[in-house]
Amino acid sequence: MQELKTEELAINGGQPVRSDFLPLTSPWIGEEEKQEVLDTLNGVWLSRGPKVSRFEDDFKKYTGANHAIALSSCTAALHVAIVAAGVKEGDEVITTPITFPATTNAILYERATPVLIDVDRRTFNIDPALIEKRITSRTKAIIPVHMAGQPCDMDEILEIAGRRNLIVIEDAAHAVGATYRGRHAGSLADAGCFSFYASKNLVTGDGGMLTVRDDKFAEFSRVIGLHGMSTSAWKRYSKEGVPNWELVYPGFKYNMTDIQASLGIHQLRKIERITSLREKWCRLYDELLVDIPELTLPYRAPGRRHACHLYIVTLDLERLSVSRDQFLAMMKAENIGCGIHFVSVHMQPYYANRFGFKRNDYPNAEWLSDRILSLPLSPQMTDVDVQDVVRAIRKVVAQTRKSQF
């Protein structure tokens, strides 16, 4: 594929590589999901009911988890898991700065303190070698984030946690379909938290799942996820249900609905097909981008299956005359939707102001925050879509490459 050295960038008035905009991602919804939703709408139960239970059972079987609790979001799952883990005001929870702020926000909900550990530049995941020295008498849990769908180094993390008597909660928001040494992400530790947001590999519009190993942890999680009530409305009002209930904890309104579960049931049935298509487009990106020295392509660590939720390249800003944000704007002008996943938590104004974080506190996270760029990735993409993305990248690189390179 030849570089387009003489083409003027669309941002400067040139012709874009595509006539229509290619979004960063889009959900793959089929007729089976639509019919299941209609069946629910035509029924008598729209909130948490039999289809949520069915989705939970299916997800439990797919992941190999002991328990699966469907909730309104991954944020809800994180919060419930943190409460169930016994995290309280004054406690500390170790996690990563390269994540969506929901991870750290959930820690703050219980007035605990997030303790950030820098990441590995190759994987974007928490660096296990840095964890131990940040553990104190107040440390209660570790939340590793399987960034972009690549499982963390869980053997090392679980060894540390076991030795120091810490709870491990996997943030598997990106990791439906990912495996680590043959086991599904989210089933490796005490708990796992999944996202089914509209941009994720498995979509329910909004929604999440909490997977749990321990029976008592799961029982408490299920109760506090629905107001702290001893039984759900479906179990109270169905023909076989018992109407009486007790409030056993001041819980949260975090339940999933049957409408959402109607999507999830069929999304889960084709998640392997979805993942294989994402893998296909990632391989094609690898093939077509490998010869561009201004980009570092995603690293996939051995012994695990990457869920391919995101395809993130790292820009070599020393070779380019523009910033990452300028590069992104140029790609958008070419009708290619790109994203940033993520700007480090410690660089977000709220966290910087509250905890006094400075840019250089987490050098790898800061370095990545300035350079990472997510390319379009969804199962229904085509070869032409991928080729258009690559054409746009080559066009932008050719026009912004520093003269000495």
| CA-CA-CA-CA torsion sign (171, 173, 175, 177) | positive
Cβ–Cβ under 8 Å, residues 72 and 102: no
User: What's the burial of 244, exposed, middle or buried (CB within 10 Å: 0-12/13-18/19+)?
Assistant: exposed
Q: What distance in Å separates the CA atoms of residue 179 and residue 241, rounded to the nearest whole number?
A: 38
Q: What distance in Å separates the CA atoms of residue 290 and residue 267, rounded to the nearest whole number?
A: 32
Quick check: is 239 catalytic?
A: no
Asked if the bond preceding 342 is cis, omega within 30° of 0, the reply is: yes
Q: What distance in Å separates the CA atoms of residue 230 and residue 68, rounded to the nearest whole number?
A: 17
**E-only strand ranges, 287-390:** 295-296, 304-305, 311-315, 372-375
Q: What distance in Å separates the CA atoms of residue 48 and residue 69, rounded to the nearest whole number?
A: 11
Instruction: Find residue 322's DSSP bridge partners.
Output: none
Mapped onto helix, strand or coil, the DSSP state of residue 119 is strand
Which listed residue (60, 140, 200, 395) is catalytic?
200
Token output for 251: 């819980």
Instruction: Find residue 191's DSSP bridge partners.
Output: 169, 212
Cβ–Cβ under 8 Å, residues 27 and 267: no
Helix (H) or strand (E) holding 142: strand 139-143
| CA-CA-CA-CA torsion sign (378, 29, 49, 59) | negative
Residue 299 DSSP class: P
Cβ–Cβ under 8 Å, residues 342 and 100: yes
Active site residues: 200
